[in-house]
Structure 1
Amino acid sequence: MTHLARLALGTAPILALLTASVPLLARSKPAPAPAASGPVTPMTPDVAPAYDEVRPDADFIRREVMVPMRDGVKLYTVIVMKKGTTNAPIILSRTPYDAKDATHRTKSQHITEILPAMDAEFVEDGYIRVYQDIRGMHKSEGTFIMTRPLAGPLNKTGIDESTDAYDTIDWLVKNVKETNGKVGINGSSYLGFTTLMAEINPHPALKAAVPQSPMVDTWIGDDSFHNGAFRVNDFDYYLEMSTGKGDDGAAIPHGAGDDYDLYLKAGSAGDFARQWGIDQIPFTRKVMENPAYTDFWSLQAVDKWMAAHPLKVPTMLVVGQWDQEDSYGAPAVYKVMEPKDANNDMVSLVIGPWRHSGVNHYGYELGPLTLTGDTAREFRVRYMKPFFDHYLKDAPDPKTPPVLTYATGIDQWQVTSKWPVGAPTPLYLGAGFTASFARPASEGHDDYVSDPAKPVPFLPRPLDMADTRQWTTWLVTDQRFVDGRPDVLSYTTAPLDKPVHIMGAPQVDLFAATSGTDSDWVVKLIDVYPDVTPEANSPSARPPQPGLELPIGVEIFRGRYVHGLATPAALTPGKVENYGWGLPNVNHVFLPGHRIMVQIQSSLFPLYDRNPQTYVGNIFNAKPGDYKAATQSIFFGGAHASAVILPVAD
């Protein structure tokens, strides 16, 4: 969702804005510049005529059109194809991030250079590529509404991203003379959301869809909130998206420096918004005035919309195992769509070794991990393009795997018939900060003091969440930088004597108490590499780092929601509560000699806003006096046997 997740985009001049009544025109030859009237002199005005960057020898055709919707609003749309294309399928992407720039990545005369890298294999094989600005953004008409709700209880207009996709596809198949009349839709993050929306009441010409890292439920686990804890850097996104139609989106002018200090000095997340004058931005208000999982959010959950509609479009859902923004959405949609897939051939799930939108870029490495090649391109060529070819070009059935996941730790793609695969197996916390698959013989608890004045950072300081080098890899950052802090507890197994292979979403089963009246709980599942690396013949591209504490899954839960996500309530000091939530879906092998670690803490700052640890009705309005240190108790054994339930595969 954030601006950091967008495709690499460039700039391009407008060639033409055509209304629906004007036929499409191919720009085959640039218009000559008007001849100067008489000889030039020192006082001849130095104002050049418009320059067409698409030269006669360009290998592509690029058209810009305004496509009419059923309510009269016209949406700016760019159509790109290689010269000579005929009887070709269309791949559509509907974006809030500027269709014009998406089709001018570089200033070039070659189609593979003006489009994003992910498009190369398609346009070289005769596909027509279409990008469209959603309504209200960039050059499209209409009013922008963030993740516009489906027509229904929250949207009485009858207009949504589903109807806009339908109208767009209808126009394209009737007006693009080079098409064979078949359309696929594709996109990541916000574009993953618009891809899913196109599948609700789909146009008959929509034959295939690949939603990637889609924004599905922005309260449970995508973007704005994670289990009720708010991601403060989303304020920047709300401001940028809400101003200037995205072309000249404003930025919070907080300057350089350590984001840890910036947000800590501001106070609550609400205080930060008020300090910078963004508290009246419409989507900021929506977030701050609706902190619980009420109908405001639950009725916008796309997986619930998909559950309520029939499965009509073959769908390949894609997500990165270390998606730092939208790890929740794709598996959640798969969960509700798969039961409708009677023959197990209409819906597939792909989990790759990538960050957010990593499938569209180079997939050689991620943070400390070096993979066995360009895993992203490998997936696109071996699986994604054959999927589209089958449904859009009548190519032979490629037998798309029902589930395709990349097993990190052993670096190989694996095919399964379902997901999750592993059997729920508790990894118990125990005395002496141990972890074991055997239930502890003794019971007890470990304590730590969580002080909101000294929250645990989510990355080594100094922090700059606008730095893509930090943001895109934070989920694989070596956790030794916090291991040993007095407010971080680490429970670790003995070195493994055999591999432990997990395939699914680990589940947290935490028994904890606090001396306060509210608390956040952060759980990390970590692969601890040996201090001396024994895997000289490891299948990995390079030996693992000695002692690396590699996060496999990290997630937070806001304690006030333990008895109901829509009904927050104060915690009773000293009372043991049972907290349960999921970590991201993974396919990972903990190798022999490695150890499995579970880290627990009560802040992950400034990624998430601080919990004051004193119950207040709305944490966005917490006052300085509400922020108080609290003693946190993590219980193990007996009736309060805290564990992380691992989906262990054979």
Structure 2
Amino acid sequence: YIILGPWNHGQWGRSKGDSLGKISFEKNTGVDFREMQKNWFEYWLKGIGNGKFDEATCFQTGSNIWKTYTTWPAKEAVIKNLYAAKNNSCSFLKPTGSPGSVSYVSDPSHPVPYRTQPIEATYGTGSRWRTWHVEDQRFVSTRTDVVSFTSDSLTEDLIVTGKISAHIFASTTGTDADWIVKLIDVYPNLDQTNLLMSQYQLPVAMEVFRGRFRKSFEKPEALIPNKPEEFIIDLHQINHAFKKGHKLMIQIQSTWFPVIDRNPQKFIPNIFEAKDSDFTKATHTIYFSGKYATHIELPVMSK
């Protein structure tokens, strides 16, 4: 059995779990979890209750409801590909026509921060580290080393339930590179009663992949400069409702400091032995075309 909730580390056991940062869950998910846990232990340890438990109980963010499933990931989900496209757009239609691409310069000496600055000490006064996973991503929107692809507004709710993965077709002028991919729920303009969430960019999945490990984690290999390759990135599992009127966004960057260490962008067999002079700028290119179709696989639930 599995229970999945919308918490940061340990939040299920120490708080009501009614929110995370600016994101409201509209119910006390931590209290709910502890009640489910209590019922489970009472049956298995004391024989209290009928012992009927759902295989998977998962909180669905966006719609803010608990959902139950007979398997996890949910077998009812159907994979749909969300494709990056020209003009910084994305859609469920595979790109056709002439090849497209977008490039950006990644500079390890000026990495993209993982949240807004100043970044406080983890356990210091005013620390925000517990909520950075849901921080509004608009703080990177003006950076030239971050690229975003945004869909049209949804005409109906889109429920994504299960494992998602990114297929990034990219090249670099260097010999190593990191690819950080985010799947973001872009909120619409809202009324005067909820300006706080107007156009909020909520990350619902994020992960990094170091290019040198594209073939093997045991035997890393240098990238070949300017050669397009596919990088498959596990974005883990989510249960999220993108609501009608919202937009989907694919966001890609190559630094995420200090969540991950800086990549020199020059292949060094042991990256911990990299010298200051090894850290160099590199131009990275993301491709979107029929042959090199950068996309994210989304497990979509039918109505």
Give the TM-score of the pair, scaled to structure 2: 0.94
Structure 1 residue corresponding to 2:128, chosen from 449, 470, 493: 470
Query: Whole-Å Cα distance in 1 between the matches of residues 24 and 140 of structure 2?
Result: 24
The answer on 1:432 being equivalent to 2:87 is yes
Larger Rg: 1
Deviations 1:568-616 (A, max 9, x none): 0110000111000211311100011100001000010011100000000
The residue number in structure 2 matching 1:579 is 231
Q: How many aligned residue pairs are there?
A: 296
**CA distance 1:561–1:365, change in 2 (3 Å):** same
Query: Equivalent residue of 1:639, what SS?
Result: coil
Letter in 2 for 1:449: V
C-alpha contact 1:529 1:544 (8 A) present in aligned 2:
no
Query: Whole-Å Cα distance in 1 between the matches of residues 191 and 55 of structure 2?
Result: 36
The residue number in structure 1 matching 2:210 is 558
The answer on 1:453 being equivalent to 2:105 is no
Letter in 1 for 2:254: S
Query: Whole-Å Cα distance in 2 between the matches of residues 533 and 546 of structure 1?
Result: 8
Query: Equivalent residue of 1:504, what SS?
Result: strand
**Deviation of residue 505 (structure 1)?**
2.1
The answer on 1:391 being equivalent to 2:38 is no
Query: Whole-Å Cα distance in 2 between the matches of residues 506 and 574 of structure 1?
Result: 28
Deviations 1:20-77 (A, max 9, x none): xxxxxxxxxxxxxxxxxxxxxxxxxxxxxxxxxxxxxxxxxxxxxxxxxxxxxxxxxx
Query: Whole-Å Cα distance in 2 between the matches of residues 453 and 519 of structure 1?
Result: 14
**Deviation of residue 464 (structure 1)?**
2.3
The residue number in structure 2 matching 1:282 is none
**Deviation of residue 387 (structure 1)?**
0.4
The residue number in structure 2 matching 1:491 is 149
Give the TM-score of the pair, scaled to structure 1: 0.45
**CA distance 1:522–1:367, change in 2 (3 Å):** same
The residue number in structure 2 matching 1:226 is none
- Higher mean alpha-carbon deviation, 607-616 vs 434-443, is at 434-443
Query: Whole-Å Cα distance in 2 between the matches of residues 467 and 423 of structure 1?
Result: 42
Letter in 2 for 1:554: M
C-alpha contact 2:100 2:287 (8 A) present in aligned 1:
yes
- What is the RMSD computed on CA atoms of the aligned residues? 1.5
Query: Equivalent residue of 2:128, what SS?
Result: helix
Letter in 1 for 2:107: D
The residue number in structure 2 matching 1:417 is 70
The residue number in structure 2 matching 1:312 is none
Structure 1 residue corresponding to 2:183, chosen from 517, 521, 525: 525
Which aligned runs of 4 or more in structure 1 are off by greater than 2 angstroms?
Answer: none
How many percent of aligned residue pairs carry the same amino acid? 38
C-alpha contact 1:351 1:586 (8 A) present in aligned 2:
no
Letter in 2 for 1:404: T
C-alpha contact 1:522 1:555 (8 A) present in aligned 2:
yes
Letter in 1 for 2:72: W
Query: Whole-Å Cα distance in 2 between the matches of residues 472 and 560 of structure 1?
Result: 30
The residue number in structure 2 matching 1:508 is 166
Structure 2 residue corresponding to 1:368, chosen from 4, 22, 33: 22
Which structure has more RCO (C-alpha within 8 Å, separation ≥ 6)?
Answer: 2
**Deviation of residue 380 (structure 1)?**
1.1
Letter in 1 for 2:96: A
Query: Whole-Å Cα distance in 2 between the matches of residues 364 and 441 of structure 1?
Result: 44
Structure 2, unmatched stretches of 5+, are none
C-alpha contact 2:165 2:236 (8 A) present in aligned 1:
no
1:323-334 correspondence runs (5 A): none
C-alpha contact 1:533 1:544 (8 A) present in aligned 2:
no
Structure 1, unmatched stretches of 5+, are 1-347, 537-541
Letter in 2 for 1:447: S
The residue number in structure 2 matching 1:623 is 275
**Deviation of residue 543 (structure 1)?**
8.2
**Deviation of residue 465 (structure 1)?**
4.4
Deviations 1:309-359 (A, max 9, x none): xxxxxxxxxxxxxxxxxxxxxxxxxxxxxxxxxxxxxxx121101111221
Letter in 2 for 1:624: D
1:100-499 correspondence runs (5 A): 348-362=1-15, 363-381=17-35, 383-421=36-74, 422-442=77-97, 443-467=99-123, 469-499=127-157
**Deviation of residue 413 (structure 1)?**
0.1
Query: Whole-Å Cα distance in 1 between the matches of residues 258 and 120 of structure 2?
Result: 10
Query: Equivalent residue of 1:625, what SS?
Result: helix
Query: Whole-Å Cα distance in 2 between the matches of residues 467 and 577 of structure 1?
Result: 40
Query: Equivalent residue of 2:261, what SS?
Result: coil
Q: Flag the structure with higher helix content.
A: 1
Letter in 1 for 2:22: P
